[in-house]
Structure 1
Amino acid sequence: MRKRRSLFKILSLFFAFALLAVACGDSGSDSDATGTTATTAADSGGGGGDTASTTTAATAPSTTNTPITEAETGPTYGGTLVVATEAEAAGWAPWQDPCSAPCVNVHRALYDQLLELNADGQIVGYAAEGIEPNADLTEWTLTLRDGIKFHDGTDLTADTVVEAYDMFQKDGAITSGIYGAAGVTSVEKVDDMTVKYVLSSGNAGFPDILTGVAGRIFSVEAAKADPEGFSANPVGSGPFVFGTWDRDNKLTLTRNPDYWRTDPDGNQLPYLDELIFRPIPDETTRLQSVIAGDVDVAQTLRQSTIRDAKAEGDSLNLLLFQGNNSGGAIFNVLEPPVDDVRVRQGLAWAMDQDLLIDILGGKGISDKASQFFSPDSPWFSQKVADMFPNNDVTKAIPLLQEYVDDPARSDGKAPGDPIEVEFNCPPDPSLIQLSQGYQQLWEGTGLVKVNLNQVEQAAHISNAVGSPDTDPPFRGDFMINCWRVGGQGDPAAILGPAFAPVEASPVNFTNFFDPAMFDLLNQAKATADFDTRYGLYEEVMTILAEQVPVVYTGYTATALITRPNVEGIGGWHVPNGDLGQGFPNAEGRYVEAFLTEG
């Protein structure tokens, strides 16, 4: 029984991070799974309070991003907003149902967060007034905001948070891995409105997870009454109440008349009477729906759709976001020939990111990537950007040739034989073209043969994690996978599990482990001093640039495409009056959305 429970915990951890680093070079994933992508981060309803001043990687916008600004006109009440998303969700229970970017749009309307990110990337209070650590960062004390009620009339109290963790989140298919990776050992009640999170070791990035799914509050009474049925009939405390759900067709939410928040001018929130979500998987159909006025907002994680929406001119508004999430490929460093750093470096030097971005329709939209952090992140390193190998075939060929001529080459082939690699990617049309781009570039060296394999998404992810019965466990069953890396969160939440010891972390998909680098990661996690942490993470990214377990296609551009009469999505507020983080990864917040005439 103990072995089965341990395996469940491991798989839960994998599942949470698979949502973050899910396969695909162009399609999106849930950065929200570990907080606001791995990260996973007052006053209308009470006193506002910032948390311990924690900064994440979601900061000032790049030239690609739409600025976060308040609505140009005053709000109007009433009306129905229809949002088209790229996919349906399996269910709506935060602790057990996977929730990628389309689902997060719904979650943010149904549920309140304990903590949230403001437009400057600081973690601030939302349903909680704030959070404070002890001296060694092993205990974090959270003060809840008074007067918040769930849609069933029950109150948010410390008991709610403790019971949610003990009865649901601690063992939930999604939240178990998130809390486990953060080192949470218990959640304890201090008084009626205060809880304490106890960690196994210091973790400066802990508040980050409470800005995402692990910090999404729900009615424990409703969950206890019907744990299985909660997925189809969720009860939160957010601005909208769950109405009717016609799966794969239409989800209707209605205005919460008793919502605890007002806007900065004292107007009761939300403004809309009704919020409808319609899953429309086909990109062209979804875009045409907003062009035709059948829907008001269309969500996209595709550069090519953004390109086509831009071509419509002023008839549409685009809320563009490009953060730390990037598409690329991961190498299984336990698998010859990519177990040899010369091969990985050679393949990296042979890549042309401009060409690959163009293939995805992202020319002029997506930027080239060199690391887990984008240029507008406080963790970005220009030193790493300058050193990462890319687009110089004259440097690729000597490295690859050296391996080809090595009589002790790891793939067991004879000296002089070409290098042969397997490149796997889901059978999406744009990803097939992307795979062919990789093939063209790598075979262009004259030293590499690339076999392309189309693998369905579920199998693609399963192959990356592998089996607990292999040696080492979860070593994966692939050589090179197209993949997605990074996220809008604290580096401790993203890099630590991704490069932990292979046998201890099924989300170390590359199987790359460097003891010295892991020590740097642990040092960075244990201090709250930004300059110290920055230096340590720069050392980590330097090692990754040298060892190349990951290569990058480019940062991922996302967008919410709206009709001109839609306001308030691009500039909502947190309870202390700050502007919120906007629309990361095409994840909208509709608490201040409204419709103008026209």
Structure 2
Amino acid sequence: MPHHHTRRLTAALLVVAALASGCGGGKAAAPASDADAGDPVRGGSLTYGLEAETGDGWCLPEAQLAISGIMVARSIYDTLTAPDGDGGYVPYLAEAVEPNEDSTEWTITLRDGVTFHDGTPLTAEVVKDNLDAYRGQYPGRSSLLFVFILDAIDTVEVTGDLEVTVTTTVPWVAFPAFLYSSGRLGIVGQAQLDDPDSCDRELVGTGPFRLESWQRDRELVAVRNPDYWQVAPDGEPYPYLDEIRFQPIVESGQRVNALEAGDIQVMHTSTPDEFVALDALAADGVVDLRDSQDFAEVAFVQINASHPPLDDVRIRRAMAMAIDRDDYQEVITRGQFTMASGPFGPGSIGYLDDAGYPSQDLEEARALVAAHVAENGPLPTITYLDTTDSGARDLAVYLQQSFAEVGIDIELATIQQDAQIDTAISGDYDLTGFRNYPGGDPDELSIWFRSDSPANFGRIDDPEVDALLAEGRSEPDPEARRAIYEELNRRFGEDVWNLWANWTTWRIASAPEVHGYSLDTLPLLPDGSAPFPGLATGHPTMGLWTTA
């Protein structure tokens, strides 16, 4: 891997791995139904409270998009494919995405008559340029993580005015999932793609809203795209709103207060304490809620398996057996969330209720530690990296006390989040807390587990894991693929490459007059498919409307 990619990978990975504290996945306390809302009303403005700012902007091939950035990107841009209600992928901005017999060649046929916000047409040439930019093959654009995500692409060619043909180095049955990439692979207008100075802030997409203004750390304003290509049930183009304002409010408690006060009308959160506060407001009729842990991220402790004694599966299993998961659920997640069993969340291919992950067994854990010490001598110092967040420190102390019960003493070290990611990339750490692996096709997670990947933070070097990942990528039979990823899930459970914590539930909360984000009011996909139920990568905004 070129050295300059290693340096710049730091920034890209910052947004796809977050601290485990304050995150969870869990019981859906909110009914998420809006069946009595009536017919949508056009016009008006909403202010949406986001959990963070996207400081580096939206030059998408180079962008650093966590969930807040994806929410904005999905409002401004369209992706070529999109997930449906079953977690499969269907054409979206593309009219068709079709493979050859062995899935080594994919033909993307684009919708006719779609225009970018600057009036230029969607063509095969601009889509080819986008795909080349994402995979690091377009002059003037410096791709980050997508260089590795799309490394199985061999060529991208224009084969018609509205047709692009992609060839791959191996059979790639999950390729349509990568054309979505958790909402991050939006198609950018040629003018923005070629902008050498302001690609991050002069946004040109085909999406339902177009950028009006952006005051960094304060507010991004997007207004209705009157020429949007998708038509709503009333016969007019989406979106319903005239305007949507995105405000970054980093402190989740402040977002709740802003919603209660009417300063914002809708927000998202995945923080247990705010779930409790919002439940109380919902009980009083002040807010409406929608929860989802479908296709969820997972919170976990990342283990550097290249460091002794963590390279010994006995020590990793002993740490897993030291944790009382029922107690963890109550103490750390405030009883709100569901404990995780592996890297694949509910609804995802490969998900298992029981993947063989160890349950608490203090006696067996102590025996495993004793056996390791008898062979190798006393355990070396193990350090757990946490951050300045108070929840992260609570988690670190909880783990420290749990591990001490079985004879594993760890030291705690506190660093900033960006330094934490740098350290994970360098491999100079033992244990640290993360949140990652949003649901989708499990092949999308291969970058985190492959032994040759720069994003393999855990330094997993397991030929069986590599073999299963390669098989899953190219296996055309759906049931055979499911079996492959279930076996990979069991492999993670047996060898404890990570210490699984809890699934991440995301919650949307709004004023009662806001509609269009529940499963029964979300827009259908262009082919009539049901909308995707997950919230780990945000939700569409074109169907939002308000009676206020």
Q: TM-score, normalised by structure 2?
A: 0.92
Question: What percentage of aligned pairs have identical amino acids?
Answer: 28
Q: Verify the 8 A CA contact 1:138 1:199 in the aligned structure 2.
A: yes
Q: What is the deviation of 1:66?
A: 5.4
In structure 2, distance between residues paired with 1:173 and 1:359: 44
Q: What is the deviation of 1:136?
A: 1.7
Could you tell me which residue of structure 1 aligns to residue 413 of structure 2?
453
Could you tell me which residue of structure 2 aligns to residue 562 of structure 1?
510
Q: Alignment partner of 2:348: what SS?
A: coil
Distance verdict in 2 for CA 1:508–1:168, change over 3 Å: closer
Q: What is the deviation of 1:239?
A: 0.8
Could you tell me which residue of structure 2 aligns to residue 537 of structure 1?
485
Distance verdict in 2 for CA 1:166–1:181, change over 3 Å: closer
Could you tell me which residue of structure 2 aligns to residue 439 of structure 1?
400
In structure 2, distance between residues paired with 1:94 and 1:528: 30
Could you tell me which residue of structure 1 aligns to residue 337 of structure 2?
366
In structure 2, distance between residues paired with 1:75 and 1:459: 46
Over aligned residue pairs, what C-alpha RMSD do you find? 2.4
Could you tell me which residue of structure 1 aligns to residue 450 of structure 2?
500
Could you tell me which residue of structure 2 aligns to residue 21 of structure 1?
17
Could you tell me which residue of structure 2 aligns to residue 51 of structure 1?
none
* Aligned residue pairs, count: 537
Q: Verify the 8 A CA contact 1:179 1:214 in the aligned structure 2.
A: no
Residue-by-residue CA offset, 1:485-539 (whole Å, 9 max, x unaligned)? 3221211120x222222xx311111111111331122112111211111222222
Residue-by-residue CA offset, 1:111-168 (whole Å, 9 max, x unaligned)? 1111111222121111111211112211111111111100000000101101223356
Residue-by-residue CA offset, 1:325-369 (whole Å, 9 max, x unaligned)? 111101111111111111110000111223333334441x31111
Letter aligned with residue 122 of structure 1: G
In structure 1, distance between residues paired with 2:260 and 2:330: 24
In structure 1, distance between residues paired with 2:159 and 2:34: 38
In structure 1, distance between residues paired with 2:454 and 2:301: 18
In structure 1, distance between residues paired with 2:145 and 2:448: 17
Could you tell me which residue of structure 2 aligns to residue 140 of structure 1?
106
Q: What is the deviation of 1:195?
A: 0.7
Q: Which residue of 511, 514, 520 maps to 2:462?
A: 514
Q: How does 1:310-459 map to 2 (within 5 A)?
A: 310-312=279-281, 313=283, 314-322=285-293, 323-363=295-335, 365-384=336-355, 387-404=356-373, 406=374, 408-409=375-376, 415=377, 417=378, 420-445=381-406, 447-459=407-419
Letter aligned with residue 227 of structure 1: P
Q: What is the deviation of 1:420?
A: 3.9
In structure 2, distance between residues paired with 1:583 and 1:174: 27
Q: Alignment partner of 2:136: what SS?
A: helix
Could you tell me which residue of structure 1 aligns to residue 41 of structure 2?
76
Q: What is the deviation of 1:189?
A: 0.9
Tell me whether 1:550 sits opposite 2:498 in the alignment: yes
Tell me whether 1:99 sits opposite 2:65 in the alignment: yes
Tell me whether 1:587 sits opposite 2:548 in the alignment: no
Q: Which residue of 174, 177, 191 maps to 1:205?
A: 174
Q: Alignment partner of 1:400: what SS?
A: helix
Could you tell me which residue of structure 2 aligns to residue 112 of structure 1?
78
Q: Verify the 8 A CA contact 1:306 1:558 in the aligned structure 2.
A: no
Q: What is the deviation of 1:391?
A: 2.1
Letter aligned with residue 386 of structure 2: C
Is there any run of 5+ residues in structure 1 with no aligned partner, and where? Answer: 29-60, 410-414, 467-475
Q: Which residue of 83, 86, 96 maps to 2:51?
A: 86
Q: Verify the 8 A CA contact 1:98 1:174 in the aligned structure 2.
A: no
Q: What is the deviation of 1:543?
A: 1.8
Could you tell me which residue of structure 1 aligns to residue 239 of structure 2?
270
Could you tell me which residue of structure 2 aligns to residue 35 of structure 1?
none
Distance verdict in 2 for CA 1:324–1:229, change over 3 Å: same
Is there any run of 5+ residues in structure 2 with no aligned partner, and where? Answer: none
Q: Verify the 8 A CA contact 1:129 1:143 in the aligned structure 2.
A: yes
Distance verdict in 2 for CA 1:207–1:362, change over 3 Å: farther
Q: What is the deviation of 1:23?
A: 3.8
Q: Verify the 8 A CA contact 1:497 1:505 in the aligned structure 2.
A: yes
Distance verdict in 2 for CA 1:75–1:103, change over 3 Å: same
In structure 2, distance between residues paired with 1:214 and 1:285: 27
In structure 2, distance between residues paired with 1:582 and 1:274: 25
Q: What is the deviation of 1:85?
A: 0.7
Letter aligned with residue 218 of structure 2: N
Q: How does 1:8-47 map to 2 (within 5 A)?
A: 8-10=4-6, 16=12, 19-27=15-23
Letter aligned with residue 295 of structure 1: I
Letter aligned with residue 362 of structure 2: V
Q: What is the deviation of 1:22?
A: 3.6
Letter aligned with residue 397 of structure 1: R
Q: Verify the 8 A CA contact 1:16 1:177 in the aligned structure 2.
A: no
Q: What is the deviation of 1:13?
A: 6.0
Could you tell me which residue of structure 2 aligns to residue 32 of structure 1?
none
In structure 1, distance between residues paired with 2:106 and 2:36: 36
Q: Verify the 8 A CA contact 2:349 2:485 in the aligned structure 1.
A: no
In structure 2, distance between residues paired with 1:142 and 1:11: 33
In structure 1, distance between residues paired with 2:473 and 2:344: 17
Q: TM-score, normalised by structure 1?
A: 0.85
Q: Which residue of 213, 216, 223 maps to 1:247?
A: 216
Q: Verify the 8 A CA contact 1:316 1:564 in the aligned structure 2.
A: yes
Mean Cα deviation higher: 370-379 or 173-182: 173-182
